[in-house]
Amino acid sequence: MREVEHPGGSHPATLILGIGELTTNAPEAVGVDPVDDPTGVVRDAALLLDGGRVAWAGPERACAAGVEEVLGRAPDRVVGVEGRAVLPGFVDSHSHLVFAGDRSGEFEARMAGRPYAAGGIRTTVAATRAASDDDLRANLRRHVDQARAQGTTTLETKSGYGLSVADEERAVRLAREVTEEVTFLGAHVVPPEHAEDPDGYVDLVVGDMLAACAPHARWVDVFCETGAFTPEQSRRVLEAGAAAGLGVRVHANQLGPGEGVRLAVDLGAAAVDHCTYLSDDDVAALAGSWAGGDAQGTVATLLPGVEFSTRQPYPDARRLLDAGVVLALASDCNPGSSYTSSMPLMVALAVRETGMTVAEAVSAATAGGARALRRPDVGHLAPGARADVVVLDAPSRTHLAYRPGVPLVHAVWKDGHPAR
């Protein structure tokens, strides 16, 4: 990457030149027919970042006029990326990063044949409760930095390993130090001290715990699954969260079929995550949530890191896409079912294992995540979008799936600032 610096302010206007393949996810903004290419690819492209936003995107041959029109002066910095691929920063709409300890022993046992079960969460709850704020904060920041190094520029993260009023409040408060996309997941599993009275635990979640956590959170979530919470309990938690002003998201249909997906659609959830075991009715409900051009349907978020790490069957993305469901891809980074924050790995797994094309997987990991978080400002690179940009050390985004495990993220801009 070559850089030319001119004097600039605290938010320098940056012109990126020499982009071999620019994925904008904004076809209309760059004169591409969305039917031909919904990901709005421009070849031999340029991108202007100014004031933390995308100011101009298009073919490099048109950029002198474009820059003059929107900036009226020379950019402060010009960066040449020498034919590399550029795309919107990844939007990881599902992670669990406030925790202590690891469960490598459980993983090892699983690889020797023991199945994954929701109960392992309690191991992390014990370690998390015992950790100091500073230890949790250091662990969280390390994971956020690792995600950023792999191109994630928007990250949702959840509580759910505290499961007491004080420990859940601490988790959402610490999470809020690193992201605006904080989810209250007090209903992750029933903690041991409430094992004999799960409904009493739900009372606590919808009462004092929600009251303590809602001020730090944007979302409420529940693990609606055998071994965690029933559909009735899940509905109580989600309705209480919504009444407290939180948006709704749901963990469902991860370990087997169930009512969670339909519950999520019924409650107008922004996203329902996992979606590994789906009936035809589930697929129809998800597709129906987007019928009539509704921009606020329920996104199905696939988390293929879970299937990779648990040896479960992968979800069928093709079936969902063909039915008209909007998909996101997320890491679900957590110490039990998917201990990776790598969105490039999610793209590779989605392409290899779930039936997505490369274009669909990259779109799901960027624009799809943005829709799952109802964030119109991220996941695309049209003028006005947040200047969150990833440069790959590769000529095309295809390399994300074609070269799995290779560190392909060459540079990252977050809010128009170099972030890596």
By CB under 6 A, name the one of 84, 236, 249, 251 that touches ligand NIG.
251
- Of 52-60, 120-128, 190-198, 396-404, the segment contacting ligand NIG by CB under 6 A is 120-128
45 or 373: CB nearest ligand NIG: 373
Site string for Fe ion, 315-334 (x = CB under 5 A): -----------------x--
- Considering the rule CB under 6 A, would residue 254 count as an interface residue with ligand NIG? yes
315 binding ligand NIG? (CB under 6 A): no
- Of 96 and 218, which has the nearer Cβ to ligand NIG? 96
- Site pattern 44..83 for ligand NIG (x: CB under 6 A): ----------------------------------------
> From residue 54, how far is each of 65, 71, 363 by CA, in Å?
16, 11, 18
Binding positions for Fe ion, 331-360, rule CB under 5 A: 332
Q: Which does 76 bind (CB under 5 to 8 A by kind): ligand NIG, Fe ion, none?
A: none
- Interacting partner of 340 out of Fe ion, ligand NIG, none (Cβ under 5 to 8 A depending on kind): none
Beta bridge partners of 249: 271
Question: Shortest Cβ distance from residue 99 to Fe ion (Å)?
Answer: 12
337 forms part of the interface with ligand NIG (CB under 6 A)? yes
Three-class HEC string of the chain: CEEEECCCCCCCCEEEEEEEEEECCCCHHHCCCCCCCCCCEEEEEEEEEECCEEEEEEEHHHHHHHHHHHHCCCCCEEEECCCCEEEECEEECCECCCCCCCCHHHHHHHHCCCCCCHHHHHHHHHHHHHCCHHHHHHHHHHHHHHHHHCCEEEEEEECCCCCCHHHHHHHHHHHHCCCCEEEEEEECCCCHHHCCCHHHHHHHHHHHHHHHHHHHCCEEEEEECCCCECHHHHHHHHHHHHHCCCEEEEEECCCCCCCHHHHHHHCCCCEEEECCCCCHHHHHHHHHCCHHHCCCCCEEEECHHHHHHHCCCCCCHHHHHHHCCCEEECCCEECCCECCCCHHHHHHHHHHHCCCCHHHHHHHHHHHHHHHCCCCCCCCCCCCCECCEEEECCCCCCHHHHCCCCCCEEEEEECCEECC
CB of 30 to ligand NIG, least distance (A): 36
- For ligand NIG, the closer of residues 128 and 298 by Cβ is 128
Q: With CB under 5 A, what is the number of residues at the site for Fe ion?
A: 1
* Interacting span for ligand NIG (CB under 6 A) from 28-36, 133-141, 327-335, 378-386: 327-335
Check binding of 121 to ligand NIG (CB under 6 A).
yes
**Closest residue to Fe ion: CB criterion:** 332
Q: Is 21 in the site for Fe ion (CB under 5 A)?
A: no
Residue 183 within binding range of ligand NIG, rule CB under 6 A? no
Q: Which is closer to ligand NIG, CB of 27 or CB of 160?
A: 160
Q: What x-and-dash track marks residues 282-321 binding Fe ion by CB under 5 A? A: ----------------------------------------
Pairing of strands 299-302, 271-274: parallel
Could you say whether residue 156 binds Fe ion (CB under 5 A)? no
Residues that bind Fe ion (CB under 5 A): 332
Residues at the site binding ligand NIG, with contacts judged by CB under 6 A: 96, 120-121, 124, 223, 251, 254, 306, 332, 334-337
